[in-house]
Structures are given as C-alpha cells and as structure tokens.
Amino acid sequence: MVACLWWISAWQGHDGSDLATLWWQWWPISLAVVGADAGPGVVKEKTKFNVVIEDVPSNSRISMIKAVRALTSLALKEAKELIEGLPKKFKEGVSKDEAEKAKKQLKEARAKIAIV
C-alpha cells in the first residue's frame, strides 16, 4: 500500500503534471457524477406562489374589478388598470392557501387564472 502511494506521488506525466494533482482535479467531478445517480434526490416543495390573471371576458369586467378590490387594497382605478393589460401577476410570493383562495374568488368572476 505504501509503495502504491509512493508511486502515485512520484509519477509524472509527459506534461510535468503528477498523478496526485490529476487525481485531486478529477475528484470533485467524480463525486458530482456519482452523487447525481446515487439514490433519489431531495425535491424541495414550492412554498411561494404567484397568481396570474390570464384573461377576463369583456362581459365580466365589473365583477372582476369587484373581486380584485375585495382581495387587495387597490382603489377602483388601479383595479381597473390591473385587469386591462393581461396577462399580469395579481399576487406574488403568497402561500398556497392564499393563492387557492384568490384563484377561487377570481374564477367566480369568470377570469382565467394560473398559479405559478
């Protein structure tokens, strides 16, 4: 074993690099390759969601403005501007429960909603 270690530390390639240096340069790559295939990975569960208003039918704009104002503290003008240039993010970085609640209320106003 000691003889093998001495040979590894004494070996030099034709470019002047020694085997120990080559090993330490290669080692992190080999760990990454082995780690990528070693068992199931840990999947982080998403905790923050964005509610996106994708489309609002023209015949339900008034009910949509009412729903937006009920869910936020926006004034009438800001709520109207929010639903005009769609698609737009309605709420950003909210919990799943809050996103689902907003989606339910906005769907009742006949809007097309996405949670991302």
Tell me: the pLDDT tens digits for 78-95? 999 988 888 999 899 999
Full domain range(s) for residue 79 = 59-115
Answer whether residue 45 is part of any domain.
Answer: no
Answer whether residue 9 is part of any domain.
Answer: no
Tens of pLDDT, residues 30-70: 445 545 555 566 678 888 999 999 999 989 999 999 999 99
Answer whether residue 94 is part of any domain.
Answer: yes
Task: Give the separation between CA 34 and CA 25, rounded to whole angstroms.
Answer: 16
Answer whether residue 42 is part of any domain.
Answer: no
Please give the model's pTM, rounded to 2 decimal places: 0.59
Answer whether residue 88 is part of any domain.
Answer: yes
Answer whether residue 69 is part of any domain.
Answer: yes
Answer whether residue 102 is part of any domain.
Answer: yes
Handedness of CA 57, 65, 110, 52 (dihedral sign): positive
The order of strands in the sheet holding 49-55 is 88-94, 49-55, 112-115
The CATH number assigned to the domain holding 105 equals 3.30.1390.10
